[in-house]
Structure 1
Amino acid sequence: MGADKIKILPIRRPPPLLAKSTRSPASSSTSESSEDALPAPVKKTRLGKPKVKTGCKTCKIRRVKCDETKPACDRCTRTGRTCDGYADVPPEKPARPDTRTVAFFRSIDTMQGDRTERRALDFFTKWTAPQLASFFDRNIWQQMVVQIGFSEPAIRHAMIALGSLSESREKSIVASPLRRTIPIGDPLASKIPQFVTVEGQDDPFALIHYNKAIAHLAQRMRQADNATDIALLSCVLFVCIEMLRGEHGPAMEHFKAGMHIALGAAKQKPRTPYNRMQSTREQVMPFFYRLELLAMLTGLESHWKYPVEAIEVVPETFETIREARDSLVHLMNLSMRHIRSLRLRRFEADVKDEDLATQHSLLACLSSWKSTFEAVQKGCFSPVEQRSAHILEIHYITTITWVARSDAISESSTDIYLEDFERAVSLAETLQVAALAEETHSSTFVFDMEFVPHIYLIATKCRHPLVRRRAIAVLRSSFRREGLWDSNSSAAVAERIMQREEAGLDVADGTEWPGESARIHNVFFDMGSGINPHMHQLTYFSKPDGLQGGWTIEQETIVLQPE
C-alpha cells in the first residue's frame, strides 16, 4: 500500500532557536554579537502572591517601589522629597512561593560555570527537563535534579551535557528540511520521515562535560556521605545522555552499573536517620524499574531477583496517576520475565504447571490493576492527566494480551485481540492529535517509553491490514525517540515485516489476512548507532513448514535513504 493511501499527520516543528551559532569545546557560541552566547532574558512574571505593604507612605502614594531604608528611604531622599515614614502593618503569613519558578530562575542566575555552560544549563532547565519528564515525573526532572546540581558537580556536568546534546538535536531538526526516506531496494515501501544529519552533531562540548561528570562521580564515590544516591541519579542521567546519542550499548551498561549499585545498597542498613538523600533514592529507583523494562525489550537478560511480587503491587486504590504508572511498571516487568522464560520452551512442550500458575496470577493482577485504575481515571480532568491515562491504557492492552498468549505457539493466536489492538491504536492517534494542538512543539526525545514500542508491537503482530497500517502511520508521523525506540526506524521495520507477510495476498482491504505459514514469529533488529540511525540489520524467524516444522532464519539489511 503506497504512502498516498495513508493519511500522514503533519509534523509539528519546534520554534526557531538561536541561529548561526557554532559551539566549540573551549569557547561559547559565536555570532555577530557576544550577547548571542546566552538566550534572550526571560521575562519574569509576577508570582501569584499579595502585594508588599511595607513601603513608606510617600512611595505608596506615588505608587513606586520603596527601598525601605530607615528612618527615611533613599528613594525619597535622592529626589528631594520628604519621607513620611512607615505605617504599622500587622505581620502576615508569607505566601508560599512557586517552587517551580524559583528553581527555574535560580538555575539561570546562580549555577556555576562560564557563559557556554550556563547556556547549556539554561536550555536543560527550560527545554530538556520538561521534555524528559513527559507526562510523569515533572517534579523530579524540573526540581530535584536541578536543585541537586547546585551542590553536586557530577550532576551539574551531566545536566550541561544533556542540555547541549538536546539543543544540538533540536537545532538540527529546525535547520534541516524534513525529507522522506524509503528502504533501499524495496519499491513498494512507503516513504518514512527522517531528518538529515548535520555536521558536528556529536557535540564535542557535550562529550567533554559528560567525561567531567564521570570523573566527578568517580571522586564522589570515594566519599561515604550519600555517594550511593548521587551515583544512582548520575547513572540515570548517563543513560539519558547515551539514549540521546542513540548509543544502545553504553546506555545499557550504565543501567546495569546503576542496578548493581542499587542492589548493593538495598542489602545495607542505613547508617543515618532518614534524610533528603534517602528520599532522592526512593524517587530515582522507579527509573531503574522502567529501564529494566526497556532493557528486556531490547534483548537484555535480567539476572537479578525482582524486588516485589505481582500480588504486592496493586493497592486497593491509586492516589495519583503516577502511583498507577509505577504499579503497572512492576506488572510489566514481571510479565516480561514470564514471557521471555517461555519464548523457546513453549515450542518444546516444556510449559510447566508453575508457568501456567504464574500466567494466571499475572492476568488476575493485571485485571485488578485495570479495575483500580478505572477509578482514578475518572478523576483525570486536565489534558495532561488524560494523556497520561491514555498512555497507561496502551501499556495495559499490550501487556495483558501478550501475557494471555504467552504459552501459545501460533501467531494466529493474536487475531482474537483485534478490538484491543484497534483501541490502542486509536488512543495513540488521540495522543498525536493532542500533541499537534499544543502551543509549544512536542518533544522529539523523551526518557520513558510512551507508545512507540507498544504500537510497533501491534504493527508487527496485528495482521488486520487496515488496523496494521494505522499503527504504522502512527509511528511514521510521530517523529520521536522514546528511550532507545526511534519511531522512524520502528515504522520502517514494521512496514518491512508487513510487506513480507502480505506478499501472497491479492488485496489488502481487510478481507484477507496472512496465513499462519506466512507470518513472522519474531524479528531481531539492531537499533543502529548515533543520533540518526539509518541502517538496520533484520533477522527473521518463521515456520513456513508448519508449527511442528523447523525454524527458518533469514537476514537482510534495510537502509533509510533520503530521496
Structure 2
Amino acid sequence: MQATFPHPSGSSSLLSAFRATESEWLAYAFYTNKISGILSGAFDANLWQRLVVQVADTEPTVRHGIFALGNLFRHYGVSDGMSECVCPRCRQALRHYNKAISSFAQYMQRPRDQLTIDVALLSCLIFICIESYRLNDRIAISLITKGCGMIAEAMPRALATQTVAIDSGLLNLFDRLWLLSSMFGHHIPRPSQRPASPTSTLGQLPLEGTIQTARDRLHEIITLVQSLRLRVFQAQMKSMSVSERVATITSLQQEQQTVLLLLENWQSGLQGLIDRQGLHSFRDSQAWSILTVHWLITKIRAGASMDPSEIDSEDQSEDFRNLVAVAEGSLVQHPQESEANDFSFEPGFLPALYLTARKCRDSVTRRKALELMSLASGKEGLWYRSELRCITARVIELEEGLAVLGSQDQLGTVNQKPIRFYDILADLNYRHGGRTYVNVTYLMYDADSDSRWRTARETLTITE
C-alpha cells in the first residue's frame, strides 16, 4: 500500500512530493527525526537536515538513499560483522541501496543540461555514508575518489560559464573527505583547485566570520601540516648531498614555524570571534570541544614534524593533557544516547585520542586517552574505534616493554631504549573466518644504527 504523507517534521511549509509504502515512511521519518541530526554532527545541519531532505522530494536516488539509511541505522549499532549482516533491517537497507544505485545510473544518462552536480554529489555522499557504516572502507574510499573527480570535472565549467554552482557545504565536505582519504594513504588529486587563502592570513578570522569560517580555516591549516609532515618524511628517506639536505631541512623548519604561528593566530582569532559576537555559550558546546581538540592535535603534530624519531613529544605534554581534558569533558557531558549514535560521518574525538595514546610519552595520559576512546563513536568516518583501540593497546605494550614482537616480526637489534615508533601504518582491515584483522607496520627511526629506518609487520585480531 502506498500513500502520500506530510513531511515528518510537521512543518506546514514542507509537504513531501512523493509516494511511499508504510515501511518506507517509517525509515524516512527515522532519518528526518533522528539520523539527520546524528550525521550533522556539531556543524553540518544545513547539509544533512535541509539539503538532503529537500533534494529527496524530487530525486529517487537520494530518496532511496534515505530509506536505506533509515533501515541501516535501526540496526543494533556498528560492529565488526556489519559488512556481512543479513538481518531484516540490513536486507531492507540493501534493497533500497541497490535501488538508489540503479536510479543514480539512470540519472547520469540524462542530457548534460538536465544534470545537477549537487544531486550527483549528494548521491555519492549517501553511498559513502552507507559503505562507511557497513565498514566497507575500500568502497567508501573509491566513492570519495569518484566524488572528488566529479568536482574536479565540474569546477572548470563552473569558473568558465558561471552557470554551474556547487553547494559550498558539499564542496567543503568533499575537501575534508579528500584529506581524510590521504591520511589513510590513498592520495588523490584535491577535488577543487579553489584559490587558497594566502598563507599569511589563514590563521586570521575575518571580523564578520562565523564558526564555520573558523572550521574551514583550521581545515586548511591541517592540510598544510599533513603536507609538511609528508615532505619531511620524504626528505629523511631521500638520498641527497649534505648541502642539499641542509637547505631542504632549513626550508622545512621555516615552514614549520609559519604553521605554528598560523595555529596560534587561529586560536586567538576564534576567541576574538566568540567575544565579538557574544557567543560565550559556544564554549560549552560539543562543537567548541571538537575544534579545540583538532587544533591541539594539529599543533602537536606540527611541533613534532621535524623530528624523525618523534621522541621530543615530551615537549607537547601539556597540550596532550589539555586535549585529554577537553575530550573527557565533552564525552562525559554529551554521551552516546543510543547505539544509533554509534556512528558519525566525520571525525570527532576518536582520531585525536588515538594519536595521543600512540604518541604521548606520559603513561598516565596515554592510557587515559585509550580509556576515553571507548566513549567515542564506534565509527567516525574511516576511523574504526575497535581497530584503533586494538592497535593502540599493542603499541603501548611494545613501547613500555610489556610485550615483544614475535621472532618473525623482530626489528632486529635496536639501540634505542625504550623503543619509540616513528609511525604506525595500518592497512584497511579485512574479514576472514568470521573475524576482523588488520595488518600493521611499525616504523622506527634509530639514529645510532647503520640502517636508520627499521620496520616490522604483524597482523592483529580486532576485538573491542
Matched ranges for 1:13-32 at <5 A: none
How far residue 404 of structure 1 moved from its aligned partner, in angstroms, is 2.3
How far residue 493 of structure 1 moved from its aligned partner, in angstroms, is 1.0
In the alignment, is residue 118 of structure 1 matched against residue 22 of structure 2?
Answer: no
2:292 to 376, 390, 393: 393
Distance in 2 between residues matched to 1:397 and 1:522, nearest whole Å: 19
Change (3 A) 1:318 1:433: farther
In the alignment, is residue 210 of structure 1 matched against residue 100 of structure 2?
Answer: no
In the alignment, is residue 355 of structure 1 matched against residue 252 of structure 2?
Answer: yes
Corresponding residue of 2:448: 546
Deviates more, 1:154-163 or 1:465-474: 154-163
CA deviations on 1:212-269 (whole Å, 9 max, x unpaired) are: 2222222222332342221112121111111111111111111111111111211114
2:55 to 135, 148, 153: 148
Q: Does the 8 Å CA contact 1:428/1:451 hold for their aligned counterparts?
A: yes
Corresponding residue of 1:329: 219
Corresponding residue of 2:142: 253
Corresponding residue of 1:445: 343
User: Which amino acid in the other structure matches residue 252 of structure 2?
Assistant: D
Corresponding residue of 2:71: 164
Matched ranges for 1:99-138 at <5 A: 101-102=10-11, 106=15, 111-138=18-45
Which SS does the other structure have where 1:215 is aligned? helix
User: Which amino acid in the other structure matches residue 156 of structure 1?
Assistant: R
Distance in 1 between residues matched to 2:46 and 2:117, nearest whole Å: 21
How far residue 362 of structure 1 moved from its aligned partner, in angstroms, is 2.2
Matched ranges for 1:351-430 at <5 A: 351-378=248-275, 379-382=278-281, 386-430=285-329
Distance in 2 between residues matched to 1:539 and 1:250, nearest whole Å: 22
Corresponding residue of 2:410: none
Corresponding residue of 2:231: 341
CA deviations on 1:56-78 (whole Å, 9 max, x unpaired) are: xxxxxxxxxxxxxxxxxxxxxxx
In the alignment, is residue 303 of structure 1 matched against residue 189 of structure 2?
Answer: yes
How far residue 434 of structure 1 moved from its aligned partner, in angstroms, is 0.8
How far residue 386 of structure 1 moved from its aligned partner, in angstroms, is 2.2
Distance in 2 between residues matched to 1:104 and 1:389, nearest whole Å: 33
Q: Does the 8 Å CA contact 2:343/2:377 hold for their aligned counterparts?
A: no
Q: Does the 8 Å CA contact 2:350/2:377 hold for their aligned counterparts?
A: no
Distance in 2 between residues matched to 1:364 and 1:453, nearest whole Å: 23
CA deviations on 1:23-67 (whole Å, 9 max, x unpaired) are: xxxx99xxxxxxxxxxxx99x9xxxxxxxxxxxxxxxxxxxxxxx
Task: Please identify which structure carries the higher helix content.
Answer: 2
Matched ranges for 1:2-81 at <5 A: none
Distance in 1 between residues matched to 2:58 and 2:454, nearest whole Å: 57
Distance in 1 between residues matched to 2:289 and 2:29, nearest whole Å: 31
Distance in 2 between residues matched to 1:333 and 1:394, nearest whole Å: 16
Change (3 A) 1:450 1:318: farther
Change (3 A) 1:112 1:442: closer
How far residue 382 of structure 1 moved from its aligned partner, in angstroms, is 4.1
Which SS does the other structure have where 1:553 is aligned? strand
Higher relative contact order (CA 8 A, sep 6+): 1
User: Which amino acid in the other structure matches residue 335 of structure 1?
Assistant: V
Change (3 A) 1:104 1:421: farther
How far residue 147 of structure 1 moved from its aligned partner, in angstroms, is 1.0
Corresponding residue of 1:190: none
Q: Does the 8 Å CA contact 1:380/1:386 hold for their aligned counterparts?
A: no
Which SS does the other structure have where 1:499 is aligned? helix
CA deviations on 1:95-133 (whole Å, 9 max, x unpaired) are: xxxxx65289745xx543222222221221122111011
How many residue pairs get aligned? The number is: 433
Change (3 A) 1:556 1:269: closer
Distance in 2 between residues matched to 1:228 and 1:468, nearest whole Å: 44
Q: Does the 8 Å CA contact 2:76/2:340 hold for their aligned counterparts?
A: no
Distance in 2 between residues matched to 1:131 and 1:410, nearest whole Å: 39
In the alignment, is residue 241 of structure 1 matched against residue 126 of structure 2?
Answer: no
How far residue 210 of structure 1 moved from its aligned partner, in angstroms, is 1.8
User: TM-score, normalising length from structure 2?
Assistant: 0.83
In the alignment, is residue 464 of structure 1 matched against residue 362 of structure 2?
Answer: yes
Q: Does the 8 Å CA contact 1:236/1:287 hold for their aligned counterparts?
A: no
How far residue 433 of structure 1 moved from its aligned partner, in angstroms, is 0.9
How far residue 148 of structure 1 moved from its aligned partner, in angstroms, is 0.8
In the alignment, is residue 497 of structure 1 matched against residue 365 of structure 2?
Answer: no
Which SS does the other structure have where 1:534 is aligned? strand
Distance in 2 between residues matched to 1:203 and 1:104, nearest whole Å: 33
Which SS does the other structure have where 1:558 is aligned? strand
Change (3 A) 1:518 1:323: same
In the alignment, is residue 319 of structure 1 matched against residue 209 of structure 2?
Answer: yes
User: Which amino acid in the other structure matches residue 170 of structure 2?
Assistant: V
How far residue 516 of structure 1 moved from its aligned partner, in angstroms, is 5.3
How far residue 556 of structure 1 moved from its aligned partner, in angstroms, is 1.9
How far residue 518 of structure 1 moved from its aligned partner, in angstroms, is 0.7
Change (3 A) 1:459 1:298: same
CA deviations on 1:386-443 (whole Å, 9 max, x unpaired) are: 221111011111112212222222221211000000000111101111123x877781
In the alignment, is residue 522 of structure 1 matched against residue 423 of structure 2?
Answer: yes
Change (3 A) 1:441 1:260: closer
Change (3 A) 1:549 1:392: same
Distance in 1 between residues matched to 2:283 and 2:299, nearest whole Å: 25
Percent sequence identity is 26
Change (3 A) 1:542 1:353: closer
How far residue 367 of structure 1 moved from its aligned partner, in angstroms, is 1.8
Q: Does the 8 Å CA contact 1:318/1:373 hold for their aligned counterparts?
A: no
How far residue 561 of structure 1 moved from its aligned partner, in angstroms, is 4.8
Distance in 2 between residues matched to 1:471 and 1:464, nearest whole Å: 11
How far residue 163 of structure 1 moved from its aligned partner, in angstroms, is 1.6
**RMSD value, Cα:** 3.4
Deviates more, 1:130-139 or 1:383-392: 383-392
Residue ranges of structure 2 left out of the alignment (5+ in a row): 404-414
How far residue 142 of structure 1 moved from its aligned partner, in angstroms, is 1.0
Distance in 1 between residues matched to 2:116 and 2:229, nearest whole Å: 36
Residue ranges of structure 1 left out of the alignment (5+ in a row): 1-26, 29-40, 45-99, 174-193, 506-513
CA deviations on 1:333-373 (whole Å, 9 max, x unpaired) are: 22212212222323557435543343333222222211111
Which SS does the other structure have where 1:203 is aligned? helix
2:169 to 265, 268, 283: 283
Change (3 A) 1:291 1:400: same
How far residue 482 of structure 1 moved from its aligned partner, in angstroms, is 0.6
Corresponding residue of 1:474: 372
User: TM-score, normalising length from structure 1?
Assistant: 0.69
Which SS does the other structure have where 1:477 is aligned? coil
Distance in 1 between residues matched to 2:122 and 2:85, nearest whole Å: 31
CA deviations on 1:304-326 (whole Å, 9 max, x unpaired) are: 48532434544333632222112
Q: Does the 8 Å CA contact 1:131/1:446 hold for their aligned counterparts?
A: yes
Distance in 2 between residues matched to 1:316 and 1:381, nearest whole Å: 18
Distance in 2 between residues matched to 1:156 and 1:325, nearest whole Å: 29
User: Which amino acid in the other structure matches residue 260 of structure 1?
Assistant: G
